[in-house]
Chain A
Amino acid sequence: MHSDAIRKLLAEHARLVVDPSRLGDDSDLYEAGLTSLSTVNLMLALEEHFNVELPDRMLGRKTFGSIRALSAAIGELRACT
């Protein structure tokens, strides 16, 4: 799991209205203030940090909906490289 690193990136790049350290792994990030536009900044930060590239199929609410979903996506991409 990459939850802690993702929380840190959320704090720096996602402009949430909730402190990411208080979010559970399954909390709805969109309810916490994530927008389709802030996902772009978050995506760029995730790619830089984890050295992966998110394909278009992952650019949607399913991937960005929760810390657990993001962590799983990162895990899947890192396993491929």
Chain B
Amino acid sequence: MNLAARTIEAVPPAPAASPDDFEALLDRVRAIGRDVIAPNAEGVDRDARFPVEAFDALRAAKLLSCYVPRELGGMGLELSQVARLCETLGRYCASTAMIFAMHQIQVACIVHHGLGHPFFRDYAREISSNQRLIASATTELGIGGDTRSSLCAARVVDGYFILEKQAPVVSYGAFADAILVTCRRDEQAAKNDQVLVLVRRDDCTLKQLSAWDTLGFRGTCSPGFELKSIGKAEQIFPVPYGEIHAQTQHPVAHLLWASLWLGLAHDALGRARSAVRAEARKNPGVTPVSAMRVAEADLVLNTFRSLVQATLADYERVLGVGDIEGFSRFDFVLRVNDLKLSASQMVVDIVQRAMLVCGIQGYRNDSKLSLGRHLRDATGAALMVNNDRILGQNATLQVGIREA
């Protein structure tokens, strides 16, 4: 517990970019979105291919290290600013935004829990200088979706670890420079006595176990892999995975996912507005009925945005004061889980409302107002960490909590 307190406090107070700098950065990301990401979004989705052009551009803009502190070569953005970037990317291609978000979640694990140790400090520098892309392998065949249990175990011999894992889903695993892998602390450890290991792509073999032909988020290229790796023991995070999960990986995942879903919903509503304008032009002076539908959908979008911002503020407050205990409190866990449940439903709701406004133009795959990809991507939100699992956890916590 004390160790965690030291490392999480070791996060340097974010020397935040000035608001003007950040607005300029957002403009740059919008330009990348418009000129590079959007033109490739359809092909990425159709062919279920990694968005190479998008990540070339994001790397060139040094955005893979945007959450790394400045003294380690990064931009030193705050999490709420990273969330704005995820939202912005989500407007152009949800797969690209999802890969970016997942990468930033892993960067946050390193920044929050590793910087007190030379290996992870050096690796943070490497993320900045070489724009490393980091994936994660937290689920395991034979366990189901419970990321807080592992079958595989790290075997540490003479300062080196040996690790083998059968992972059913590793998003962009074949395109990452490193993978954060959960496993049991050692072969005697309990299922949930886990550690997190940074496995370098160069030090591991990945045997693909399945294909990735899904309804949505096709560009994340997330098949299963059998991973085998040997590396130095210093690549094992110095704190238990349970703490990393509670303090960073779980809450940051839900915050950044919700942010990119917000971007996806924003774009769907933007397409609905285009449809309404086209209709209004035909009959000047009369507000089309479909504009009412857009007005209603905008209510949902605003609620969605407020929820994301409020939960981000809660998280940053707990993080800012180094309140380790705060992360494990039932009310905090419930708030983060509630965000995931609500956001994953609102994103589908907004896309469906937009579909009604766009009509057949939204339903077509070959129209400028097509919403097929949005709808398919949006339905994935409830499944990545299944909402029923989260709701079940909330139900148990509700038995324990006195007042939220």
Contacts and interface: CB of A to CB of B under 8 A. Distances in A.
Interface in B245-287: 246
Contacts of A33: 190-193
B333 interface: yes
Contact of B331 (A17, A18, A30, A56): A56
Contacts of B333: 36
Contacts of B240: 30-31
A60 B329 contact: yes
Interface residues of A, number: 22
A35 interface: yes
A37 B240 CA distance: 18
Main secondary structure of the interface of A (DSSP, over half): loop
B400 A18 contact: no
Interface string B169-212: 00000000000000000000011110000000000000000000
Interface string B141-172: 00000001000000000000000000000000
A32 interface: yes
B193 A31 contact: yes
Contacts of A59: 329-330, 400-401
A36 B400 CA distance: 10
Given A60-B325, A61-B325, A61-B328, A17 B400 contact: no
B190 A44 contact: no
Nearest to A64: B328
Interface of A: 17-18, 30-33, 35-37, 39-40, 43-44, 53, 55-57, 59-62, 65
Interface of B: 1, 148, 190-193, 240, 242, 246, 324-326, 328-331, 333, 393, 396-397, 399-403
Closest 10 CB pairs of A and B: A17-B190, A40-B400, A61-B328, A60-B328, A33-B190, A60-B329, A59-B330, A62-B325, A60-B325, A37-B396
